[in-house]
């Protein structure tokens, strides 16, 4: 999430320019269409809170914990492990809350339109705030609503809080709103982002700290960032070692190869396959099962939890790249998988299919080899252009992210971005992201300690 003072200033300028353009010939300002309407949202929140609270109780055994928040606008930050987290936070605070949400929520015009009318979330693309997002957030603040932001900008893949961009601290300081810091607990094992199934255990949303505007004004950006990271840091598997909450469900590990992409016994990439409550390596036969508390069990057990297995995967990626165990000439790929779909993506709009083919990560680039690419002609008609290779050099890629369960989103420059989909769960978007950042940062001579999301 890249929010700077310059972007905020540009957003305010853009708002003034739009206001000038809205004036008619008689010099009177036209009434703009209000996306954020506090009375309307208050009405829907009054109706929706009891309904969503009942849903959370049934689906996730959610328990609301008490806090001393007053009915005033807050900037709310929280860790993020499950799609239900926004509902948990909204049901834990008073007043109207507008969440910053992935633009994928709006790609379905019917569902997205309904959510926009009822709750007014702010769409963001490529897991970062652009000028339009900042402008909309400023409007929410002006109208007296609270802002909900998940600084990880994505649900975590393993069980612990992932990377938080330092720019969030600048945004907090700029907005000068009371800062409420929350932790959701239990939501990762309720529905991990890689999973095909739900399980029911116990979830809570707990207020960790409130920092008033007067205190924020005295704090440096670095101090604010440290306070945010400290409050939002949470590891569900370590929490489970103390709490031993039982999560009941079926097919507990189905889809886990989207995250657990490397066998801890033979070390091969993308050879893991899930089946019900188990996951196994198709090459060496290593197998573990998941118990009702979320831990792994097996005869040749190497790691007993998601976080420890994932830490090892990341360490292996760093060792692989730093040790030069790849083709530095760029002839042989580091990772390649067949049967992918390439889409062109736009902010809060439906993705447009370009073609199907293989997708590969090399030492200095990404390549998609489309069998039959689809392009749009001057009249807007979709036409076939035959086989086509799409190449994105590392220097041209501003961000690579994982979206949904297993999609890869590639941001090229500031305006263009693409998505790579695959029906095969063994093709791990998470693995591509980790190895991409290791290779790119190694090429730049930087430490390989950031894997995006």
In a domain, 176, yes or no: yes
User: What is the C-alpha end-to-end distance of the chain, expressed in Å?
Assistant: 11
Same domain, 411 and 265: no
Same domain, 223 and 318: no
Same domain, 185 and 222: yes
In a domain, 351, yes or no: yes
pLDDT at 21: 42
- What's the CATH number where 215 sits? 3.40.1130
Higher pLDDT residue, 46 or 36?
A: 46
Which residue, of 298, 322, 346, is where some domain finishes?
Answer: 322
Same domain, 396 and 419: yes
Same domain, 356 and 395: yes
- pLDDT of 221 > 50? The answer is yes
Q: Which two tokens stand for residue 317?
A: 């990626």
* 364 Cβ contact partners less than 8 Å away, ≥ 6 residues apart: 330, 393, 394, 439, 443
Range 336-356 average pLDDT? 88
Residue tagged 């010939």 (tokens): 25
In a domain, 22, yes or no: no
Angle at 140 between CA 137 and CA 146, to 5 degrees: 100
Q: What is the pLDDT of residues 170-209, one digit of tens each?
A: 999 999 999 999 999 999 999 999 998 999 999 999 999 9
> For residues 251 and 242, is the Cβ–Cβ distance under 8 A?
no
Range 296-311 average pLDDT? 96
Higher pLDDT residue, 16 or 286?
A: 286
Same domain, 220 and 74: yes
In a domain, 165, yes or no: yes
> Does the predicted TM-score (pTM) go above 0.75?
yes
Q: What is the pLDDT of residues 404-427, one digit of tens each?
A: 899 999 999 877 889 999 988 889
Range 18-27 average pLDDT? 44
Structural domain including 409 reads: 335-443
Element (H, E) at 448: none
pLDDT at 24: 44
129 — pLDDT class (breaks 50, 70, 90): low
In a domain, 18, yes or no: no
Which residue, of 243, 265, 289, is where some domain finishes?
Answer: 243
Q: Where does residue 87 rank: exposed (0-12), middle (13-18), buried (19+ CB within 10 A)?
A: buried
Same domain, 145 and 231: yes
Same domain, 260 and 122: no
Element (H, E) at 53: helix 38-60
- Rounded-to-integer distance, Cα 355 and Cα 342, Å: 5
112 — pLDDT class (breaks 50, 70, 90): confident
- Rounded-to-integer distance, Cα 149 and Cα 139, Å: 15
Which residue, of 206, 227, 243, is where some domain finishes?
Answer: 243
Same domain, 264 and 202: no
Range 153-161 average pLDDT? 90
Same domain, 257 and 392: no
Higher pLDDT residue, 342 or 6?
A: 342
Residue of 83, 101, 81, 84 whose CA lies nearest to 92: 84
Same domain, 306 and 353: no
- What's the CATH number where 437 sits? 2.30.29.30
Query: What's the domain count of the chain?
Result: 3
Same domain, 163 and 204: yes
Q: Where are the beta strands (DSSP E) in 81-194?
A: 97-102, 122-124, 146-149, 179-185
């Amino acid at each position: 999430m890249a929010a700077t003072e310059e972007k905020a200033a540009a957003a305010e300028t853009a708002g003034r320019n739009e206001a000038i353009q809205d004036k008619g010939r008689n010099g009177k300002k036209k009434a703009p269409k209000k996306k954020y309407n506090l009375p309307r949202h208050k009405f829907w929140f009054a109706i929706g809170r009891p309904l969503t609270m009942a849903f959370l109780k049934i689906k996730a055994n959610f328990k609301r914990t008490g806090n001393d928040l007053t009915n005033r606008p807050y900037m709310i930050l929280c860790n993020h492990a499950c799609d239900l987290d926004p509902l948990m936070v909204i049901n834990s605070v008073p007043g109207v809350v507008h969440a910053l949400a992935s633009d994928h929520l709006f790609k379905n015009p019917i569902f997205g339109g309904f959510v926009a009318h009822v709750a007014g979330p702010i769409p963001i693309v490529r897991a970062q705030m652009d000028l339009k997002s900042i402008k909309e957030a400023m409007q929410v603040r002006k109208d007296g609503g609270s802002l909900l932001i998940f600084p990880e900008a994505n649900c975590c893949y393993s069980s612990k809080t992932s990377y938080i961009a330092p720019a969030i601290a600048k945004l907090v300081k700029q907005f000068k709103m009371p800062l409420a810091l929350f932790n959701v607990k239990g939501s990762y094992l309720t529905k991990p982002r890689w999973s095909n199934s739900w399980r029911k255990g116990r979830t809570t949303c707990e207020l960790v700290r409130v920092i008033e505007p007067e205190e924020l004004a005295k704090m440096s950006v670095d101090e604010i960032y440290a306070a945010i990271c400290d409050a939002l840091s949470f590891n569900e598997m370590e929490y489970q070692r103390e709490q031993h909450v039982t999560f009941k469900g079926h097919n507990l590990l189905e889809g886990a190869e989207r995250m657990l992409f490397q066998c801890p016994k033979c070390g091969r990439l993308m050879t893991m396959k899930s089946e019900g409550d188990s996951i196994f390596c198709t090459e060496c036969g290593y197998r573990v099962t998941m118990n009702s508390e979320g831990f792994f069990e097996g005869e040749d057990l190497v790691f007993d939890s998601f976080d420890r297995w994932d830490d090892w995967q990341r360490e292996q990626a760093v060792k692989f790249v730093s040790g030069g165990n790849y083709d530095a000439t760029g002839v042989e790929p580091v990772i390649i998988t067949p049967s992918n779909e390439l889409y062109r993506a736009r902010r809060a709009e439906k993705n447009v299919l370009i073609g199907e083919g293989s997708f590969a990560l090399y030492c200095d680039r990404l390549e998609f080899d489309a069998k039959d690419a689809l392009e749009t002609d001057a009249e807007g008609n979709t036409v076939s252009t035959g086989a086509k290779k799409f190449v994105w050099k590392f220097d041209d890629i501003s961000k690579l992210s994982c979206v949904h369960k297993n999609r890869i989103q590639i941001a090229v420059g500031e305006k263009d971005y693409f998505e790579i989909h695959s029906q095969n769960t063994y093709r791990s978007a998470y693995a591509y992201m980790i190895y991409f950042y290791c290779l790119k940062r190694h090429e730049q001579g930087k430490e390989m300690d950031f894997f995006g999301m």
